A = this chain, B = another copy of it.
Amino acid sequence: MTEVAIFGAGRIGKIHAGNLARQPGVRLKWVVDPDGAAAGALAEAHGAKVADRDAVFADRSVGAVVVASSTDTHADLIERAAAAGMAIFCEKPVDLALDRARRCADAVKRAGVHCLIGFQRRYDPTFAAAKARIEAGEIGAPEMLVVTSRDPGAPPVEYIRRSGGIFKDMLIHDFDIFRWILDDEAATLHATGSCLTDPAVGQAGDVDATAVTIRTKSGRLAQINTIRRAAYGYDQRFEVLGSKGMLQAGNHRPTEVVAWTGASVSADKPEHFFLERYRIAYAKEMTHFFETLAAGMPPRTTIEDGVKALELAEAATTSWRERRIVEF
């Protein structure tokens, strides 16, 4: 039986706790959250108890931690868990500061602990199937990638101010998709952006729409387009062109009903937001974490992946701010 502590009893913490509960041989022991009521409710729902950080890291029976707390706590929790020899499942990003993230990666490496960073999109059935089919050679050598990543609505400006900017907050997932799907690294990167949905975002020193182009070391081309608000909902797609064909990985729809009316033929719009779209991905991610832990295999999304995506996000921020192409 692996005893687990979870940090963070908010929206995503609940998702992870629920998925934890379905893993065989795994038991949620501790819930940690500054909001005591939230911690208590989540603990009760799963037969766990509330604790503080120190108690968790002092409990040698804890085999793994799930870090679903606020971004500014990630690095510290990773380092303490690594020091305690606990396996780590941590939401993205590792940290907003690249050097701190790199130090975390070093700590994990030195400690030799199992560590999965929550790039849950790699566990989405559609995205994972596309990746598997590329690896099976179905489209030959990948050549071009187009990633569309749009949120249904912008978060409060207060959130945006603490977010590290759109490239670190939102595109970090898309940078990870880029690296994963093309299996290549950036040689040059160009990013631009605009404030199209809310002037307050611009006043906060950020943009809410971006267009990024990456040329890889082997000459492959990738384009990413993002926006904080798409009127039709959460839009998560990519398409990858290879020498033998193209694969498109599309959105999921709530139902397969099609309506034929005097106006048009219409289907459902995409799943509302990430909790709906990536519901299965989150479940598979947690299963993967414990399966690879048990097997002594590295997880699909390592802390090095977290650092690499952050490097791209930082380069994109620089490219946008300084209006120049960044070379790696």
Chain A interface residues (CB < 8 Å from chain B): 125-126, 129-130, 133, 138-140, 143-144, 146, 148, 150, 188, 190, 192-197, 209-213, 215, 219-223, 225, 227, 230-233, 235, 241-270, 323-325
Given A231-B261, A249-B257, A257-B250, answer yes or no on A325-B209 (Cβ-Cβ < 8 Å): no
Task: With CB as the reference atom, state the residue of chain B lying closest to A236.
Answer: B256
Question: In the complex, which of the residues B139, B244, B259 contacts A264, with contact meaning CB atoms closer than 8 Å?
Answer: B259
Contact among B126, B230, B325 with A246 in the assembled complex (CB-CB below 8 Å): B230
When A215-B192, A260-B245, A260-B269 are in contact, do A255 and B126 touch as well, CB less than 8 Å?
A: yes
Among A139, A143, A210, which residue has the most Cβ atoms of chain B within 10 A?
A143
Please report the C-alpha to C-alpha distance between residue A248 and residue B144 in the assembled complex, in whole angstroms: 20
The one of B219, B222, B253, B263 in contact with A269, judged by C-beta atoms closer than 8 angstroms, is B263
Closest 3 CB pairs of A and B: A266-B266, A264-B266, A250-B256
**Which residues of B have CB within 8 Å of A194?**
143, 215, 219-221
Contact present for A268 and B264 (CB under 8 Å): yes
Residues of the B chain whose Cβ atoms lie less than 8 Å from the Cβ of A261: 139, 231-232, 244-245, 269
Q: Which residue of B lies closest to A188 (CB)?
A: B192
Q: How far is it, in angstroms, between the C-alpha of A213 and the C-alpha of B320 when the chains are bound?
A: 13
Known A-B contacts: A194-B215, A209-B221. Give 13 more (CB < 8 A).
A129-B254, A139-B231, A143-B196, A143-B227, A144-B196, A190-B190, A196-B219, A221-B225, A247-B260, A252-B256, A261-B269, A264-B268, A323-B325
Contacts A247-B257, A256-B250, A259-B245; is A221 near B211 (CB within 8 Å)? yes
What's the minimum C-beta distance from A65 to chain B, rounded to whole angstroms? 26
Q: A129 vs B257: C-alpha distance in the bound complex, in angstroms?
A: 7
Q: Is the CB of A126 within 8 A of B241?
A: no
25 interchain pairs, CB-CB under 8 A: A126-B257, A139-B259, A139-B261, A143-B227, A144-B227, A192-B213, A194-B221, A196-B243, A211-B213, A221-B225, A230-B246, A231-B261, A235-B260, A244-B262, A247-B258, A247-B259, A250-B258, A259-B264, A261-B269, A262-B269, A263-B269, A264-B267, A264-B269, A265-B267, A265-B268
